[in-house]
Structure 1
Amino acid sequence: MNYQVAVVGGGPVGLWMAGELRRAGITVVVLESRTERDTRSRALTVHPRTIETFASRGVHEPFVREGMPLPGGHFGVLESKLDFGRLPSPFPHTLALPQERTEALLEQHARDLGAVVLRGHQVTGFIEGADEVAVHVTGPRGSSVLAATYLVGCDGARSTTRDTAGIDFPGTPATVLGWLGDVVLDQPPAPGFSHFGPEGLLMVVPMPGGIHRLVGITPRDLTTTWPGDLTLDELRENIIAITGTDLGMRDPIWLSRFGNATCLAARYRHGRVFLAGDAAHQHFPAGGVGMNVGIQDAANLAWKLAATLNGWAPDALLDTYHHERHPVGVRLTESSRAQVALMTAFTPEGLSLRGLFAQLISTLPDLNDALAAHVSSLDVTYPPADPDAHPLTGSRAPDLAIDDHQLYALLRVDGYLLLDLTHGQRLDRLARTGLRVRTGTLRRPPTGWTDISAALIRPDGHVAWASMDHDPTSLPDGLTATLATTHRT
């Protein structure tokens, strides 16, 4: 069987990738080694930028309906929580939603759009040719080979795709072992409970079905020696040491340990092979950002693959995936390491550092806003090649109100959107394959958008070009120059 894209891994990242490709008419197969969806939800948090991404395709409502909205997040589990309510987003909060449900919703969307999802199919390797990739698969009926024009590895930190492609995965080894337990609590603390002190760190997160997740670290967990699988007795001992009570814990659903090994793929692209999600970046799960950054990887890559396969963009556009997302991975790993330092600061000096940092967050709104935008990925900007580009270029576009429409409802994966705010200077004559035009007036323009005469919005919601020029002669020239780098002549 031949496909335009084969996706290795059927987690949230791979499933969003598949759905996006199908929205653009690309044939895609998802190869997932698990025969059933994992009921153990590693990820619980859906961040604002991810909800915005879902909203730009009109699929956000089930997530909003099922998820529990939480007003903020944290940085290093400091005592001062981050206030997400100040974020410039239509979704100024996180959603607590088990990964199992996120996967189920994304898989249903992908299947409804025509993606082929094959469970119980393990990719054992591949051979990259000049025009396609021969993917070797072991499934319920034995071994087979399928062909794809491009291969995307969304297969986790132990990625077969990355190893077979020979992409280096440098980083730092684990020095801390965190633990988690999904259990029933007969005496649960109030929602949003967290505790930090010399005896350890604990966060308690309510989950559907009467389950609570206990996540923590104790000073004895600052080790490179694996102590064995976590037991309920050990979890109970840790919780008592930190809180003075076991909170009435019983009936464990899942007990696990995890380390802070931190690695970043040296390249996100190798010829016809790409990496996304945990296959590209491994880190300590601080702030619940991992799945969300992976979905943004997919959002960045999918439209570029579709544009290339559909013929309206040159192959060079695919190189921008690494150039744009690798720096985000660098930032992710550095932020994770910084938070681990705060989460393991059990010494008197460390406690003083945490106290000072928490005080600054609570008294400096700009610091709160910067960290909240950082954690939620709302501040991700892709630096433009042109140093003279408008400052908005590369930034995430807010959900602009254009006459009676909202921007996110106008975005599509199969082409750019040109906002013509010149009141009839005929920018629509530049419409071409992959480019749609919306003429109108901005209502309540946000900061930075007041004097904008035109803007080109990418399928992933980032600004490709913006101008304050109202000259009907020169205005199209800048737009044409930008389009020349992303569109075939």
Structure 2
Amino acid sequence: MLAGELRLGGVDVMVLEQLPQRTGESRGLGFTARTMEVFDQRGILPAFGPVETSTQGHFGGRPVDFGVLEGAHYGVKAVPQSTTESVLEEWALGRGAELLRGHTVRALTDEGDHVVVEVEGPDGPRSLTTRYVVGCDGGRSTVRKAAGFDFPGTSASREMFLADIRGCEITPRPIGETVPLGMVMSAPLGDGVDRIIVCERGAPARRRTGPPPYQEVAAAWQRLTGQDISHGEPVWVSAFGDPARQVSAYRRGRVLLAGDSAHVHLPAGGQGMNVSVQDSVNLGWKLAAVVSGRAPAGLLDTYHEERHPVGRRLLMNTQAQGMLFLSGDEMQPLRDVLSELIRYDEVSRHLAGMVSGLDIRYEVDGGDHPLLGMRMPHQELVRAHGKTSTTELLHPARGVLLDIADDAEVREAATGWSDRVDIVTASLHDAPPQGPLSDARAVLVRPDGYVAWISPGSRAGLTEALDRWFGPAR
């Protein structure tokens, strides 16, 4: 995702991937409402084909109706993570990103004005010199360790299993179903394959160098459910834990971190991949603007300022969910209380916004308009030459100044940034009278889809906002 964003920003990018080919494994199934919006804002969503969404989600195994949020849903269902990986790879390569498979990073040195990366590839070792390095290399990140990032938090306290199995008749079990010895989940994936998750209470955390043997997983499933699945054919098997760690800083000089290299947690609600994608979209346009000289290096500091709180909140909610569905009977009173509270729409809205990523609000200068710092919602628009939408306007990953009131002064004020901000005059099409844009005359949207300025409602001036997020006028 980051490679594609950087290419849209006009800079060269190389992806060093230690795997010689994609594994085909799919720990995640689908993506959240906010990630769906992000893909749509880049024109990627059609590559997934017809997608199915559902408003029915959960928090720690307690059912939550995500439909209480306007236009929200729990996420896109039944899209294997391997499909998401394939779509994003083809998108990034199609925009000129370079992908080197079978290349492992051994060391790196930040020299102040460049970074030297030592790489082991199919043809032996080599050194690469680059302006910036971003570690997107997971919870055991080599980049994070080599660059000296600290990684405070707690290690995994237990081990759990995930497996896709063919050839067994397994009764579907909802997420969060507690049994006397732990928690289990199972669901059919189609084509005769079932997914199971086994969380056996008291199973110690282990640092494995490979996947666990299938018979070990089958034995744990039998202990918890009484069902023998040892005759099944494993499609793939994995073990995971419940660590909760986050780096103190997302940037050290010319080295930055995104995704699981910056934060690890229990995979509750499939949030990990989604937050990682959104890390990348927040960083991509900023890093491209700095590398190309359109914006000062200080813009990169806003990456940590905006995404570190999101990661901290992610750890908080996944730890809370883990306590709910991994603890024993002693947690049942709290589960019952939460189930009662979720019946209130305000509580459901809060939890749905947290898990979906739709409630993220970045700090921007001045103003109290409810849309300021929030994501720009999808809105159909009418221009002189036809229809468009706020989503379509973001396909090039440029800033957008949306002039709703046909105000020549607004357009004139932004002309010094027209090389990096699209100035669009359009009226709202079928907008609800009390909608988020009902009182807006003009809106400045960042390339990542968040509102940086809105009139009326922002005390800061338009030119100040443009300078803040897009660098000095040309």
TM-score (norm 1): 0.88
Q: Percent identity?
A: 39
Q: Please tell me whether residue 366 in structure 1 is matched to residue 357 in structure 2.
A: no
1:374-418 deviations in whole A, cap 9, x for unaligned?
A: 11111111122x344534221111112222322111114542101
SS where residue 294 of structure 2 aligns? coil
C-alpha distance in 1, partners of 2:334/2:176?
18
Aligned partner (choices 151, 161, 170) of residue 143 of structure 2: 161
Aligned partner (choices 296, 305, 312) of residue 330 of structure 1: 312
The 3 A distance-change label for structure 1 pair 108 and 302 is same
Write the mapping of 1:328-477 to structure 2, written as runs, cut at 5 A: 328-347=310-329, 349-361=330-342, 363-384=343-364, 386-403=365-382, 404-429=387-412, 430-431=414-415, 432=417, 433-442=419-428, 443-445=430-432, 447-468=435-456
1:335-360 deviations in whole A, cap 9, x for unaligned?
A: 1111111122212x312221221232
Instruction: Decide whether the 8 Å contact of 2:249 with 2:304 is kept in 1.
Output: yes
Mean Cα deviation higher: 229-238 or 302-311: 229-238
SS where residue 51 of structure 1 aligns? helix
The 3 A distance-change label for structure 1 pair 71 and 414 is closer
Name the structure 2 match of 1:478.
Answer: 461
Aligned partner (choices 79, 89, 110) of residue 97 of structure 1: 79
Give the drift of 1:83.
2.3
Q: Please tell me whether residue 77 in structure 1 is matched to residue 61 in structure 2.
A: yes
SS where residue 301 of structure 1 aligns? helix
Name the structure 1 match of 2:286.
Answer: 304
Write the mapping of 1:207-356 to structure 2, written as runs, cut at 5 A: 207-221=189-203, 223-224=204-205, 230-246=212-228, 250-347=232-329, 349-356=330-337
Partner letter of residue 441 of structure 1?
S
The 3 A distance-change label for structure 1 pair 267 and 477 is closer
The 3 A distance-change label for structure 1 pair 374 and 476 is closer
Q: Please tell me whether residue 50 in structure 1 is matched to residue 35 in structure 2.
A: yes
C-alpha distance in 1, partners of 2:460/2:225?
65
CA RMSD of aligned residues (A): 2.5
Give the drift of 1:85.
3.5
Give the drift of 1:425.
4.0
1:262-295 deviations in whole A, cap 9, x for unaligned?
A: 1101111111111000000011111110010000
The 3 A distance-change label for structure 1 pair 235 and 146 is closer
Give the drift of 1:123.
0.9
C-alpha distance in 1, partners of 2:310/2:14?
27
Partner letter of residue 284 of structure 1?
L
Aligned residues: 462
The 3 A distance-change label for structure 1 pair 477 and 179 is closer
C-alpha distance in 1, partners of 2:213/2:32?
31
Write the mapping of 1:118-197 to structure 2, written as runs, cut at 5 A: 118-190=100-172, 195-197=177-179
C-alpha distance in 2, partners of 1:40/1:488?
45
5+ residue gaps, structure 2: none
C-alpha distance in 2, partners of 1:234/1:477?
60
C-alpha distance in 1, partners of 2:310/2:460?
31
Name the structure 1 match of 2:18.
Answer: 33
C-alpha distance in 2, partners of 1:231/1:92?
33
Mean Cα deviation higher: 312-321 or 439-448: 439-448
Give the drift of 1:428.
1.4
TM-score (norm 2): 0.90
Instruction: Decide whether the 8 Å contact of 1:421 with 1:440 is kept in 2.
Output: yes
1:280-329 deviations in whole A, cap 9, x for unaligned?
A: 00111111100100000000000001122233222111110000001111
